[in-house]
C-alpha cells in the first residue's frame, strides 16, 4: 500500500467513524417525538383522542381539586403489562380538570369533570440519563408542567424542587402512583 493510499484510508476511516458517532448520538436523542435534542419537553396534542386512559383521581378540595385524568400511549401500556416497567421514551400525561356536581338518576351530588382545564403534568421515561445538565431531567424521567395560558412551554425549571418531593411515596414504583391505574394492572 502506498503512503498516499494509507493516508487516504486513515482519513476515510476517521470520517466514517465520525459519521457513525453522529448517527449513534442522533438515535440516542431520537427516543421521543416529544423531546428535542436539548431535552425540551412538549405537550402532546390530542392525547385524549389518541392515548389510553390509565385511570383518574378525584381530589375533593384545595388547589388541585377536581379530576386528575392520566394517559399513556398504548405501546407504553402494552410494554408495562408485559414487563412491569415503563419503557424508554414512555410518556405519562396527567390532566387536571375542575369538577361540578349535581343530582342525577344515578345518585345525589354526582361529580363530573367539566370543561375547565387547570394544568397538565408530563413525565417521559429516560433510561439513559440523556440530559444530565438539564434540571427537568433525572431519576429516570423528564418532568414537565404546562399551564393553560401557554401550553407550549414547560414552566417547571427544576424537577427536584417542583416534583420530586411529592413523588417520594411512589419512589419504589419508579416514582409513579401505580395504584391509581387499573389499565396497567394484570387482569
Residues found near ligand HEC in the complex (CB under 6 A): 57, 59, 68, 70, 92, 94, 121-123, 143-145, 156, 159, 162-163, 166-167, 170, 176-177, 180
Judged by CB, which is closer to ligand HEC: 113, or 156?
156
What DSSP character marks residue 126? -
> What's the CA gap between 63 and 178, in Å, rounded?
22
The three-state secondary structure class of 94 is strand
Least Å from the CB of residue 119 to ligand HEC? 9
Judged by CB, which is closer to ligand HEC: 9, or 185?
185
Residue 157: name the closest of 130, 140, 133, 134 by CA: 134
Judged by CB, which is closer to ligand HEC: 83, or 105?
83
Residue 18 sits at φ, ψ, to 5 deg, of -60, -45
Judged by CB, which is closer to ligand HEC: 43, or 122?
122
Residue 89 sits at φ, ψ, to 5 deg, of 90, -5
Least Å from the CB of residue 178 to ligand HEC? 7
Amino acid at each position: 500500500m502506498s503512503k498516499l493510499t494509507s493516508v487516504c484510508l486513515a482519513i476515510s476511516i476517521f470520517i466514517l467513524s465520525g459519521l457513525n458517532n453522529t448517527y449513534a448520538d442522533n438515535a440516542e436523542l431520537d427516543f421521543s417525538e416529544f423531546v428535542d435534542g436539548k431535552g425540551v419537553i412538549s405537550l402532546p396534542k390530542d392525547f385524549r383522542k389518541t392515548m389510553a386512559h390509565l385511570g383518574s383521581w378525584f381530589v375533593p378540595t384545595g388547589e388541585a381539586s377536581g379530576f386528575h385524568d392520566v394517559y399513556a400511549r398504548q405501546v407504553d401500556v402494552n410494554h408495562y403489562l408485559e414487563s412491569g416497567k415503563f419503557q424508554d421514551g414512555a410518556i405519562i400525561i396527567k390532566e387536571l380538570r375542575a369538577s361540578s356536581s349535581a343530582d342525577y338518576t344515578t345518585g345525589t351530588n354526582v361529580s363530573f369533570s367539566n370543561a375547565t382545564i387547570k394544568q397538565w403534568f408530563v413525565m417521559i421515561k429516560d433510561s439513559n440519563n440523556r440530559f444530565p445538565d438539564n434540571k427537568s431531567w433525572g431519576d429516570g424521567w423528564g418532568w414537565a408542567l404546562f399551564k393553560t395560558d401557554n401550553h407550549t412551554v414547560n414552566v417547571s425549571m427544576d424537577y427536584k424542587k417542583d416534583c420530586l418531593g411529592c413523588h417520594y411515596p411512589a419512589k419504589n414504583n419508579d416514582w409513579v402512583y401505580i395504584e391509581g391505574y387499573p389499565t396497567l394492572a394484570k387482569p
